[in-house]
Structures are given as C-alpha cells and as structure tokens.
A and B are shown apart, each in its own frame.
Chain A
Amino acid sequence: MPRRIELPELQELLRQGAQLVEVLPREEYEDQHLPGALSIPLKQLTREAASRLDPKQPVVVYCWDYL
C-alpha cells in the first residue's frame, strides 16, 4: 500500500529525484499537471506502462484530491 504523504514531503521527495505519476484520465493531465509528471491513467497501469519508470527511484502517484 503506498504511503500517504502531504505537500512538504512531496516537495522533499521531488528534491531527491522522485518520479511523479498522474493517474487521472489523459485529458485532465493535458489540461494541467504537476511539473515533470508522467501520465499513466489508473486504468492503463500495466507492466508496459510502468516500464517508463525506474523501479529503483521513489514514485509518487496523485490524482485530483482526496475524493
């Protein structure tokens, strides 16, 4: 289970080189996303899609908000 984090920890992880993944639909990603984030919509999270990520580096996933 991914560990839940808030903004300060996110910013620290990004300083350490963490990879950002937005799991919202592509259209929402195209509208606006966090700088440097990759788009991997949740329903398309396959082994092939995840191969774009480095498993040795931390990964931070996010969507729109708490809901």
Chain B
Amino acid sequence: MRLETLGFERVFDYVPGKADWLAHGLPGEGQNAGRRTAGDIARRDVVTCHLNDDVDEVRRAIAGSPYGFGLVLGADDVLLGRVRATSRGSSVELSMEPGPSTIRPDTSVEHVAHTMVERDLKTTLVTTPEGRLVGVVRRADAEGISGGKE
C-alpha cells in the first residue's frame, strides 16, 4: 500500500539510499553501527594544494610531510590528483597524477587492511562519493585496528 493512498501528502524517496548516506561517512544506528571504518581512521595531515600553487613550494611541503606525496584539490575539496615528491613538472598541473584510486569512508577497517596488505599499499586515499577528500589511511593504522580480522 502506498503512503499517499493512506493520506500522506508529503512523501519523499531518498533514492541514493542507505549506501549513499554511509558512503558520505554519516553516522548510522544498529548492531554494526559502531564498527570502525576508513573514515574514522583517515588522517588529515597530508599536504594539499591547488592547481595554481607554486610547484616548488608544494614539493618543499611534501618533503617535510609524513608522506611522499601531496594531494591536489579543486573546488569544494574535490580530489583531482596526486603530486609525488619525485615529480619533475614545471607546474602542479604538469606534476600531477590525475584520478588516484580512492575508497569510501564507510569501508570497514578490516577490509581496508586486507586490501592494503594484498596490494602492498602503504597508504590509501578516502573520498566521499562526490570525490571530496576525507583523508589518508595509513596501513599501520588499519592493521593495528583490524588485528588481521576480515
């Protein structure tokens, strides 16, 4: 039976659904709501820059950071690409590797750790479905929390 036929006049359908809500790192309730996710452990200490920033200054910042790379952001903090400390382009745009792989904030820590071990990754990037940067997950953090479980 439809709600409208039962007298409800203002009925909306959140079509993207629960998957969309959780993928944005928004909280849930329920038996598995408390499990740790990528969004919980993502660090925000990565160097970020924009396309028109001075590339030499960006490289200097990367050299002083815990990671060997910085992340290039566009409007609304949307992730555009990655600049490595070893890159040699004359601008941020020319130094950038576009479209790095990312995971969503609601990915379980256990799954993240398993994937990072399988692919021998030291870090993985976390973004929302719209591509907005959430942070960087370090493999050591994911492994420490997951304890080898999946």
Decide: A31 near B19, CB < 8 A? Known: A3-B13, A47-B1, A59-B10.
no
What A residues does B8 contact at CB under 8 A? 50, 53, 55, 59
Contact of B30 among A3, A6, A30, A59 (CB under 8 A): A30
Contact of A32 among B1, B2, B17, B31 (CB under 8 A): B31
Contact A61 B20 (CB under 8 A): no
Size class of the contact patch on chain B: 20 to 34
Q: Does B75 contact A (CB under 8 A)?
A: no
Q: Which of the segments B21-29, B63-71, B114-122 contacts the partner chain?
A: B21-29
Contact of B12 among A3, A7, A24, A35 (CB under 8 A): A3
Distance (Å) between the CB of A66 and the closest chain B CB? 6
Contact B14 A32 (CB under 8 A): no
Distance (Å) between the CB of A62 and the closest chain B CB? 4
Contact B32 A32 (CB under 8 A): yes
Decide: A65 near B29, CB < 8 A? Known: A4-B13, A4-B15, A13-B12.
no
Interface residues of B, Cβ cutoff 8 Å to A: 1-4, 6-22, 24, 26-33
Interface residues of A, Cβ cutoff 8 Å to B: 1-7, 9-10, 13, 18, 22, 24, 29-37, 45-47, 50, 53, 55, 57-66
